[in-house]
Amino acid sequence: MAHLLKKIAFAALFLCVAATSAFAQDKIRTVIIDGQNNHDWKATTPYLVKILENTGKFTVDVATTPAQGEDVSGFNVDFSKYDLVVMNYNGARWNKGMEKAFVDFIVNGGGMVAYHAGNNSFADWPAYNEMIGLGGWGGRNHDSGPYLYIDDNGNVVIDPVQEGPSGDHGPQWEFLIDNRAPEHPIMKGLPASFRHCQDELYQYQRGPAHNVTVLASAYAPKDRRGSGRSEPLVIAIPYGKGRCVTNMLGHGPDQMKSVDTIVLMQRCCEWAATGNVTIPVPDNFPGVDKPVFDNPMDK
Ligand code: ZN
């Protein structure tokens, strides 16, 4: 009898452990890469962590490179431990093995979200530019590829390569974001247009722009030192078996408290990792009038 009880206890323990590990495996294993950026990554990474963890769907590690100007050749991430990489990084190239491992990770089905200045990084790394679709600054020029914008009829236009800026924005303001792909999992259920918090509206981004799906854009008026075009701000790019999203919103910690920044980041990350989105659109998601704030650190 004691023997039987022992067996039952052991089986129960085994089931318990199995259930726990199944639960952990259900979560999206995420690594945020930071450490070099012309933005305040020390302030924004904790927001990214909290924004993802608050959904209950992600486990999040942070991999921090040596500081700007220091030797990064020893920096490595074991991508086999992850489903998703979030790039809060705009800095020096990695070692060749690490770069190859990153490309292999995406080609074999991994997810990547380039957050804000994440698409400023690595102007001279062709594979990375294919993944982000469009990038700005960092030494980019007309050789980096065409511009991409949305015309008055809502059509995506890839401009012939020409001289001009390669990444730019006017002063921050509360711009209106247009949902350009209402049937895409990331954008489904979001309003046709919604008011973003005061933020930088990236324009004149360049890149290979291959296979880009524009999910969200905003009109950059000339009287805001804008391009006079509707500029792509959230784009999805397939790469091998993987999914990449470039999300240019969210300059700093203030912007990480706005509900649309939070929800877009959560949904971009879930989709990049799984191809699906289950994170709901909250009732307090902004409409066209004004941005809505809900500090993720308070949860
Ligand atoms: Zn910025």
Calculate how far, in angstroms, residue 203's C-alpha sits from the geometric centre of ligand 1. 12
Query: 207 φ, ψ to 5°?
Result: 170, 180
Is residue 277 a contact partner of residue 188, using CB atoms and an 8 Å limit? yes
Which residues share a beta bridge with 237?
Answer: 244
Which residue, 228, 291, 225, 288, is CA-closest to 255? Answer: 291
Calculate how far, in angstroms, residue 39's C-alpha sits from the geometric centre of ligand 1. 6
What pLDDT, on the 0 to 100 scale, is given for residue 281? 98
Rg value, the chain, Cα: 20
Calculate how far, in angstroms, residue 44's C-alpha sits from the geometric centre of ligand 1. 11
3-state secondary structure of 98: helix
What pLDDT, on the 0 to 100 scale, is given for residue 24? 56
State in Å, rounded, how far the first CA of the chain is from the last one.
49
Calculate how far, in angstroms, residue 31's C-alpha sits from the geometric centre of ligand 1. 21
Exposed / middle / buried, residue 285 (Cβ in 10 Å: 0-12, 13-18, 19+) = middle
Calculate how far, in angstroms, residue 200's C-alpha sits from the geometric centre of ligand 1. 6
Calculate how far, in angstroms, residue 197's C-alpha sits from the geometric centre of ligand 1. 13
Calculate how far, in angstroms, residue 21's C-alpha sits from the geometric centre of ligand 1. 39
What pLDDT, on the 0 to 100 scale, is given for residue 239? 98
Q: Measuring CA to CA, how many Å separate 291 from each of 146, 201, 294?
A: 32, 15, 10
111-115 and 84-87: which strand pairing?
Answer: parallel
Calculate how far, in angstroms, residue 128's C-alpha sits from the geometric centre of ligand 1. 20
Calculate how far, in angstroms, residue 118's C-alpha sits from the geometric centre of ligand 1. 10
Three-class secondary structure assignment of 41-74? HHHHHHHHHHHHHCCCCEEEEEEECCCCCCCCCC
Which residues share a beta bridge with 148?
Answer: 158
Calculate how far, in angstroms, residue 38's C-alpha sits from the geometric centre of ligand 1. 8
**Strand (E) or helix (H) holding 143:** none
Positions in the chain whose pLDDT score sits under 50: 1, 10, 13-22
Calculate how far, in angstroms, residue 160's C-alpha sits from the geometric centre of ligand 1. 26
- What's CA 107's distance to the chain center, in Å? 17
3-state secondary structure of 13: helix
Calculate how far, in angstroms, residue 23's C-alpha sits from the geometric centre of ligand 1. 36
Percentages helix, strand, coil for the chain (3-state, rounded to 5) are 30, 25, 45
